[in-house]
């Protein structure tokens, strides 16, 4: 566990925030620098065919060491962290033998990780928790996934008596801004199927995800001196507020769970003349997903009708779709994961992803790719934490999948 802990802490401190205003891949230099560091590490631990392309996609091979290797399987995680929370100067805190009480993340700012607000903490009493220092996110989404994959590969290399087929691994950029699979070369990756390590708490196993779209709403008003603004000023900030109020108030992330979709306003910036709002739209049901996009368009039309002279433009794009139909046609890979979980002493919790993974798009690109847990909680914020023992179990699951891959057939 010490190796896994030190590896994850090193990864977490490496800032890899994406930039959705940059069309290049990767969208930020920091992701490429991190990929270069990872490439050196993969070669150092003994992986083969380590390649890093110009778009920031890192791939490597763990060669088969058995006579009947079976299918080539893959493991995938993403290098970027959420753009929704501070991610520079990450300072992870390690709390050995958690006692079940409140954890003071930052005394100066009175930021406390409390079991009263996050009752799942009670499941990890006696374990080692890794948290933020209250000023940034932690980045376990998805640095934990990377650490678990690398540690599993290192364990297999160090223990050649554990027989396995050919294993491919890949680390991708820009997943958090919906572009993680844009330049993924499925043919070059060469796996029959794969698993993303990008899930939440221990035991989660996911093969249904949201249909997803992103929308940028730009509101342009008219700036006039406030002393002479009567019947002349159009305050784009106020117009933006009206637009947002026209969306269903209970269909937001903070009011939804399970299969319920939502509209999420995650960024708003502007002044009197112009305000730009960024939304993500999510729903598991394809018909409801289409309806959500219609609701957003109608809200723009209604807002224009209320404010003569205001410009309300929407730029909307689909990001990914629900992979359920692809995985159900290849359900043997779920059965293999269930067996690997149970062999590790974990009862699988099969549930829909309230988010997305690279695997959703990769599944439609010909690489069936369900999602395994990493062990983390409260992703994308200051209250993020991950138990080290959950990470260790994720490593065990990966090893189990690798060593049983020669028995996995369609």
Say if residue 38's pLDDT is above 50.
yes
The answer to whether residue 313 is catalytic is: no
Catalytic residue among 15, 41, 80, 176: 80
Residue 68 confidence (pLDDT): 84
**Tens digit of each residue's pLDDT (9 = 90 or more) over 281-336:** 999 999 999 999 999 999 999 999 999 999 999 999 998 899 999 999 999 999 99
Residue ranges of the chain assigned to CATH 3.40.630.10: 2-209+322-407
Q: What is the mean pLDDT of residues 55-63?
A: 98
Residue 69 confidence (pLDDT): 80
> Pick the residue with more confidence: 181 or 353?
181
Q: Name the band, by pLDDT with cuts 50, 70 and 90, for residue 408.
A: very low
Q: What is the mean pLDDT of residues 175-186?
A: 93
The answer to whether residue 80 is catalytic is: yes
Fold of 2-209+322-407: Aminopeptidase (3.40.630)
Compute and round to an integer the Cα radius of gyration of the chain.
Answer: 23
Residue ranges of the chain assigned to CATH 3.30.70.360: 211-319
**Percent of the chain whose pLDDT exceeds 90:** 92
Residue 84 confidence (pLDDT): 85
pTM for the whole structure? 0.85
Fold of 211-319: Alpha-Beta Plaits (3.30.70)
Say if residue 357's pLDDT is above 80.
no
Residue 410 confidence (pLDDT): 39
Say if residue 407's pLDDT is above 70.
no
The secondary structure of the chain, three-state, reads CHHHHHHHHHHHCCCCCCCCCCCCCCCCHHHHHHHHHHHHHHHHHCCEEEEECCCCCEEEEECCCCCCCCCCEEEEEECCCCCCCCCCCCCCEEECCCCCCCEEEECCCCEEECCCCCHHHHHHCCCCEEECCCCCCCCHHHHHHHHHHHHHHHHHHHCCCCCCCCEEEEEECCHHHCCCCCCCCHHHHCCCEEEEECCCCCCEEECCCCEEEEEEEEEECECCCHHHCCCCCECHHHHHHHHHHCCCCCCCHHHCCCCCCEEEEEEEEECCCEEEEEEEEEECCHHHHHHHHHHHHHHHHHHHHHCCCCEEEEEEEEEECCCHHHHHCCCHHHHHHHHHHHHCCCCCEECCCCCCCHHHHHHHCCCCCCEECCCCECCCCCCCEEEHHHHHHHHHHHHHHHHHHHHCCC
Catalytic residue among 15, 148, 175, 251: 175
Q: CA 123 → CA 95, 201, 225, distances in Å?
A: 15, 10, 58
Looking at every residue in the chain, the average pLDDT score rounds to 95
Say if residue 67's pLDDT is above 90.
no
């Amino acid at each position: 566990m010490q190796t896994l802990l030190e590896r994850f802490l090193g990864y977490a401190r490496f800032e890899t925030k994406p930039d959705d205003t940059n069309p290049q891949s990767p969208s930020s230099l920091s992701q490429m620098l991190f990929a270069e560091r990872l490439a050196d590490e993969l070669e150092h631990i003994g992986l083969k065919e380590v390649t890093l392309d110009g778009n920031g996609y890192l791939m490597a091979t763990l060669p088969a060491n058995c006579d009947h290797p079976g299918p080539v399987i893959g493991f995938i995680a993403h290098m970027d962290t959420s753009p929704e929370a501070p991610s520079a100067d990450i300072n992870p805190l390690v709390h050995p033998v958690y006692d079940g009480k409140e954890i003071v993340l930052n005394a100066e700012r009175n930021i406390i990780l409390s079991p009263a607000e996050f009752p799942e903490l009670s499941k990890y009493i006696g374990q080692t928790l890794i948290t933020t220092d209250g000023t940034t996110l932690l980045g376990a989404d998805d640095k934990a996934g990377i650490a678990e994959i690398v540690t599993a590969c290192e364990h297999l290399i160090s223990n050649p008596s554990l027989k396995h087929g050919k294993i491919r691994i890949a680390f991708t950029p820009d997943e958090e801004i919906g572009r993680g699979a844009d330049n993924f070369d499925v043919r070059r990756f060469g796996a029959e199927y794969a698993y993303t390590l990008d899930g939440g708490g221990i035991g989660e196993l996911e093969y249904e995800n949201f249909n997803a779209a992103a929308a940028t709403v730009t509101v342009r008003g008219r700036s006039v001196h406030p002393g002479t603004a009567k019947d002349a000023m159009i305050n784009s900030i106020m117009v933006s507020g009206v637009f947002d109020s026209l969306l269903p108030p209970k269909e937001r992330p903070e009011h939804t769970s399970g299969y319920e979709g939502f509209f999420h306003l995650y960024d708003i910036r502007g002044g009197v003349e112009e305000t730009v709002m960024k939304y993500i739209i999510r729903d598991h049901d394809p018909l409801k997903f289409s309806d959500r996009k219609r609701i957003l368009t109608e809200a723009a039309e209604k807002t224009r009708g209320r404010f003569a002279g205001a410009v309300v433009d929407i730029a909307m794009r689909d990001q990914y779709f629900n992979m359920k139909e692809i995985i159900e046609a290849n359900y043997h890979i779920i059965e293999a994961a269930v067996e690997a979980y149970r062999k590790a002493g974990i009862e699988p919790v099969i549930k829909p992803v309230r988010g997305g993974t690279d695997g959703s798009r990769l599944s439609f690109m010909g690489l069936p790719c369900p999602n395994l847990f990493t062990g983390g909680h409260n992703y994308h914020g200051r209250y993020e934490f991950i138990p080290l023992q959950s990470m260790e179990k994720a490593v065990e699951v990966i090893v189990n999948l690798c060593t049983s891959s020669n028995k996995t057939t369609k």
